[in-house]
A and B are shown apart, each in its own frame.
Chain A
């Protein structure tokens, strides 16, 4: 037999779908050795998560292994009695999930959850295990493990929870650790720390790591070998360097080509048609927004979501707003569209103050500023046909009669590269990328001058993301539309934006032309952010990271460092 730790051979899995069964995995084979990191990449529906669940024996109801073998340490898990797999689960193999917010039980203390596994496997007593748990928490970089053990999940941040999850998974020193998108829900700086931690664990404990991810950057940063999956089949299985240097399969090449990169040379092309410096179409001057504050019964601490933020947007310009969660970037977008009120400051749209308007006048005026949201599943009314959704702005503003609307809908649908014949269908019949196109068509229907796009591609696969970005660029070029592009993804921003505003804790820390900000970041936070982004290039692995503590960076007035390049002092 081989010396491989995990050997998956010819694995086929299917799910019940009504009367028939839908195949999720078709004849998948791969293996992984001790202390090895295998990344499984693929887009949604490729079967990468199903693979992880099948190995763990955790397939959801309706799922079934049709054929094949999963050998862990030479022992076949397919057809093994559930009790036998349960004995291995947690002890020999462990799993970490994507959502640190929901994968810990909110009513149990951290200590209880950490020793749950060892106790269930009949190992030792609660007392010794608690000592062990404290040691493990220290190992995953939690500074005060004893205090942490007594805490409950809601008292911990997302990054801390993911550390606890990893510590809990490692309690039994499993030979195999499966991590399903372990950092997808985290901010990039936290993601960098978690990836560092996983790498150290693999190195020190000799654990084999199966890393399920959609992020080529994470793959390049972590993997020894890569398994590329598509529609339940392995497309390519190769060591990480050859895969990135000379991808064999067409699909892998397409996938890699669609990944936006931080180090794309601006010299070769640059952002097309940058129009910074033209007449500003939208001006935000010193806007602030505070949430919470005084309540009826108790004093609540107020959060400053926006703190004296100023921004201009020229005609045909794409300004990106980047930041981590809680930076206030989404609130800024909503404030610019006047979907939320501001406490102070002024927003001028084509020279007219939006902040002073209300009621009918505001409704008419703000049709010039439209929004595209992140979640393509929630941003279309499920009970409207997409034709009706797109027609809404036209009918509301009397831009078209009912008869004309039909033609305009068809025109708009082809404008966003959808079949005009689809107008009578409902949102649930469309894929995520198609829905996002519909959302853009709806925004265009109001004949806006500005579109505020709040993470428009975050929920999409990279190939679909590339198409949506192309569409945005084309709209800017051909229709002189201006965009405020809100994103946490620096590589996407680099590809599309003319100027970038970096936000943290409600303040703009750096604002300047994209090329300049990415090449010579002037603010320490921008530098930290950039150094944390995993590069989709295995040769750039292990670059030095910049860490900054909260509050240890300048966040005062913006000072012009170079023409158009503003940095907080």
Chain B
């Protein structure tokens, strides 16, 4: 009888290569593969800009101003005779850097605030979360503008400003995710086992909220890039002659009649990048959804 009953319980199954399964699930959706393609393209051009770019991104070319797209200049030249294609390629470095650094700042500060608030509770949680709510009621761009106004216009400051502006969103998401995990029995079991604060936060809470935060971050990169481009467009971010896409867009505004490609190219680059990261974020969210995970 006992053997019979033992047989009823399901034997554990081994799942191998969870990382690859995850990647395969991201690529499985058309949006995911498109997003991943954009990301790879961006990384590729950032890495190999020196090799691929036919010209220097900042060297001016006398007598080559406003050349329309041709074989020699695939995306034409700008008002200083610089090759737009080369500038776009080198600009991808800045774009990736902006995305990574701004999101890095928002994410790390948001994680700390959210985790501390959820873990400690009490008045600390109230102060942190009400402040977050207050900041959330302003649009991110407004906060970023205020930060740049204080820090002064430069690309580095723009990244910091966009990063700071993103903190409330990350803190809020992290807080609610951590609250959910905190109330689960495994967390209580660790408390009962005598685990200390560090262990509970770093080993139990953090790894369990990370999937949620990764989704937020992937989606957040696109809005960070957009916000930084907006700052550069306003002249508060990248300074000439840095080939930043937002700044290129801004510079091209005055020459709309003489060189319409000057606006179209960086505008398209920004749009495609933002779209790519959004698609990727959606795919990552779908792939991480436990309901989709199945066996």
Give A residues with C-beta under 8 Å from B.
17-18, 43, 45, 230, 250-251, 253-254, 257-258, 334, 337, 339, 363-364, 366-367, 369-371, 373-375, 378-384, 389, 392-393, 396-397, 422, 425-426, 428-431, 433-434, 439, 442-443, 445-446, 461, 463-464, 466-467
Contacts and interface: CB of A to CB of B under 8 A. Distances in A.
Nearest to A372: B189
Q: Which 8 A-B pairs have the closest CB atoms?
A: A373-B185, A379-B185, A393-B193, A429-B12, A363-B194, A463-B5, A383-B207, A431-B10
A464 B185 contact: no
Contacts of A367: 193-194
B127 to A, nearest CB: 13
A375 B194 contact: no
B193 A467 contact: no
Interface string B99-141: 0000000000000000000000000000000000000000000
Contacts of A397: 193-194
6 contacts: A45-B10, A366-B192, A373-B188, A396-B196, A434-B9, A442-B193
B146 interface: no
B196 A429 contact: no
Nearest to A45: B10
Interface in B171-218: 184-196, 199, 203-204, 207-208
A392 B195 CA distance: 8
Nearest to B205: A381
Given A230-B8, A366-B194, 11 more contacts: A251-B4, A339-B192, A363-B196, A366-B192, A381-B208, A382-B208, A393-B193, A393-B194, A396-B195, A396-B196, A433-B9
A396 B203 CA distance: 12
B189 A439 contact: yes
A371 B189 CA distance: 6
A378 B194 contact: no
B12 A422 contact: yes
A375 B185 contact: yes
B63 interface: no
Contacts of B8: 43, 230, 461, 463-464
A559 to B, nearest CB: 34
Given A18-B294, A363-B194, A381-B204, A425 B185 contact: no
A291 to B, nearest CB: 14
Contacts of B295: 17-18
A339 B193 contact: no
Contacts of A369: 192
B257 interface: no
Nearest to A394: B193
B51 interface: no
B70 interface: no
A422 B196 CA distance: 27
A367 to B, nearest CB: 5
A466 B5 contact: yes
Contacts of A445: 193
B259 to A, nearest CB: 53
B14 interface: yes
A383 B1 contact: no
Nearest to B126: A296
B193 A17 contact: no
Contacts of B185: 371, 373-375, 378-379
B193 A250 contact: no
B62 interface: no
Given A378-B184, A381-B208, A396-B195, A464 B9 contact: yes
Interface in B4-43: 4-6, 8-10, 12-15
A439 B185 CA distance: 10
A254 B199 contact: no
A234 B207 CA distance: 44
Contacts of B203: 384
A314 B50 CA distance: 77
A464 B192 CA distance: 25
A445 B207 CA distance: 23
Given A366-B194, A429-B13, A442 B4 contact: no
Contacts of B15: 426, 428-429
A507 to B, nearest CB: 25
A363 B208 CA distance: 23
